[in-house]
Amino acid sequence: MIKEYKLINGNGISVVIISYGGIIKEINTPSSNGKFENIVLGYKYNNEYLNDKYYVGARLERAPTWEMSEEFAEEYEKIQKLRRHVYSDTHWNFISLR
């Protein structure tokens, strides 16, 4: 059984992560009109991830920089900077959905 975990910060922004590979299923953030919407491309049902050959929503893991292409290394560094910014500027509450 695949479990879902939801992280919510003080501004109402939330992330749903499933136990199958730590896949990010949802990131709910306000749009320009203030309505919260999911901005992640993914499947509606958790069991659809079991047969996914494209790794939709899969988390990024650390990889040795000597194995990365220069273009990927630049993108990876941008992601790491964003991750540091998000974790340093927000406080997340951990909620188990199932």
pLDDT tens for 65-86 read: 455 567 767 777 777 777 665 5
Q: Cα–Cα distance between 38 and 30 in angstroms, integer?
A: 9
Q: 96 - beta bridge partners?
A: 5
Amino acid sitting at position 51: N
pTM: 0.59
Please state the φ and ψ torsions of residue 89, each to the nearest 5 degrees. -100, -5
Question: Which one is predicted more confidently, 4 or 92?
Answer: 4
